[in-house]
Each structure stands twice: as C-alpha cells, then as structure tokens.
Amino acid sequence: MAKERINVPEPIVNIIDLSLYYGKVKALKSIALDISKKKITSFIGPSGCGKSTLIRCLNRMNDLIESVTIEGCIKIDDQDIYSPAIDVTELRRRVGMVFQKPNPFPKTIYENVIYGPRLMGIRKRGALDDICEKALKKGALWDEVKDRLHTNALDLSGGQQQRICIARAIAMEPEIILLDEPCSALDPIATAKIEDMLCDLKKDYTVIIVTHNMQQAARISDYTGFFMLGKLVEFNITTEIFTNPLEKQTEDYITGRFG
C-alpha cells in the first residue's frame, strides 16, 4: 500500500480516494495521488491492475460503459470533474486522449488534425491551416507530411499515424494529454520519435501515460505510479521508483521477480 501521498509541485489533477466498480467488481481501490502540471507522469503495472481504467476516469471515458460506478473525487484545477455542472465535451477538450492502436479517421491528414477545431466551430481556412501546422509541428510530423497534407492519413506508417492522433489531440489545445500505451504497436524508431516528442510536449502540456514498457517510463517520465490489483502500490519520482523503490511489491515487479 502506498504509505503516504507525495507532494508534487503545482498539482493540476487531484485524485482523491477514487474507487471504481465494473458492476460488482472493484477495479480501482481508493486511489489517491496528485499529478504535477507540465510534467510527464507514467502509470505502470501488470495487465488488469487498473492503470488504463484510471486514466480513462480522467476524461470520463468510463461514462460510456454502463456498468461503471465511481466513488471518490477527481479534481482538475480544483474543479470536481464528476460534478453535474461539468460539461463533459469541454472536459474532453481540456483532457485529450491517445489510444494504443493508432486510429486516424479515414480522411486526409489535414482533415484529421482540424477535425476537432472545425467541430468546435472554427471555419476560417487560414485559422484551420495555422492550427494544422502548429499541431503537426508539435506532433513532430510536420516535416514528414507538409507536402502531402491532403493524402489519406491511413496511407502513413504506424508511427506516423500515431503522431497524427497526437497532433489531432494537440489541435484542441488541451491542458492534459492522456496516452494509453501509445507505443505498444510501434517499432523502436517510431517509439523513440514519440518519446522525444512527449518530452518536448511537456513544456506546454501535462502528459499522463500508461505503459507496459518500464524502460519507457524510466526514460521519459518525471513521476511514476505502480499499480497492482486495483491499488496504487507506490507513487514517487521516477528515478526513485526505478533505483530505490520503497515497496517490496514495486521492487519485485520492476526487477522481474513476479509478474
């Protein structure tokens, strides 16, 4: 069990005693942690430990599953995101998400990136062009696709498709970007590009990433949480977790003594 909550600088997300049930099954058990602004926080743990369930709580993706009930509270900028006053669409604009498998729309690269902003009502061509260029630059894809913005995004490689998805999330100017195993379907070169990009992105955004690749968590994140069986076992500065974890369960997992 996590013995005490560590104080992170400038917390933007506060997860307070959060439990989540799929029907009667308790998938998250009294999770409490803070996420620091403009840092990369990674969640690691064996399959089924609740890490993906947790990040899906942060933009209320779990609302789409009927059997889910939630106890406790998540605050973003001191605002309870499960309060009835919250506009979920606006919440998902502020908290973008990228999934495991690249899922670009079957449209052009350009249309993919400006899809969200256009839906939000931006119509002017010049403004949309600017948004597209900025987002693709932040997504470290601009140089590779600037001459073929109007070709189908599905013609791109897996790594490029995933960066399109990240650029699509960035185009909405979110504050927080959630990534659920974004590199698990990618080769090491594409993975390295995404990792570099994420390190750049934290200048402007708060990044939360779920990963099965512990080296990836060690390489890119500032803070790491280790989950097991729905509990947060340990949450600390990444270098501490990977060099001198406080909990035996964390040590056993990261050194491969169980799994």
Partner 1 sequence: MTREAYHKALKTLEDEVLFMGEMVSNAIRKSVESLQKRDIAASKEIVKNDLLINKKRFDIEEKCISLIATQQPMAVDLRELTSILSIVTDLERMGDHAEGIAKINILLGEGPLVKPLIDIPRMADIGLSMLDKCLKAFVNRDTETARRICNEDDQVDALHDQIYRELLVMMMENPRIIHMATYLTWVSHNLERIADRVTNIAERIVFMVTGRMEEINVSKY
- Residues of this chain that bind partner 1 (CB under 8 A): 46, 214-215, 218, 242-245, 250-251, 254-259
As measured in angstroms, the least distance from the Cβ of 243 to partner 1 is: 6
Shorter beta-carbon distance to partner 1: residue 9 or 259: 259
As measured in angstroms, the least distance from the Cβ of 215 to partner 1 is: 5
Strand bridging mode 11-22 / 79-80: unpaired
Minimal CA–CA distance to 114: which of 124, 126, 128? Answer: 128
Cβ proximity of 53 and 20 under 8 Å? yes
As measured in angstroms, the least distance from the Cβ of 107 to partner 1 is: 39
As measured in angstroms, the least distance from the Cβ of 132 to partner 1 is: 38
As measured in angstroms, the least distance from the Cβ of 29 to partner 1 is: 22
Shorter beta-carbon distance to partner 1: residue 150 or 257: 257
Whole-number Å distance between alpha carbons of 8 and 245: 17
Shorter beta-carbon distance to partner 1: residue 89 or 215: 215
Minimal CA–CA distance to 210: which of 23, 1, 12, 35? Answer: 35
Q: Report how far Cα 20 is from the mean position of its chain's Cα atoms.
A: 19
Whole-number Å distance between alpha carbons of 31 and 15: 7
Shorter beta-carbon distance to partner 1: residue 126 or 258: 258
CA Rg value for the chain: 18
Shorter beta-carbon distance to partner 1: residue 69 or 255: 255
Tokens of 84: 């009835």
Q: H helices within the chain, ranges in order?
A: 51-57, 88-94, 109-119, 125-138, 142-145, 158-170, 188-201, 214-220, 238-243, 248-254
Minimal CA–CA distance to 213: which of 176, 179, 236? Answer: 179
As measured in angstroms, the least distance from the Cβ of 47 to partner 1 is: 10
As measured in angstroms, the least distance from the Cβ of 196 to partner 1 is: 19
Minimal CA–CA distance to 36: which of 55, 13, 56? Answer: 13
Tokens of 247: 């909990």
Shorter beta-carbon distance to partner 1: residue 89 or 244: 244
Shorter beta-carbon distance to partner 1: residue 160 or 191: 191
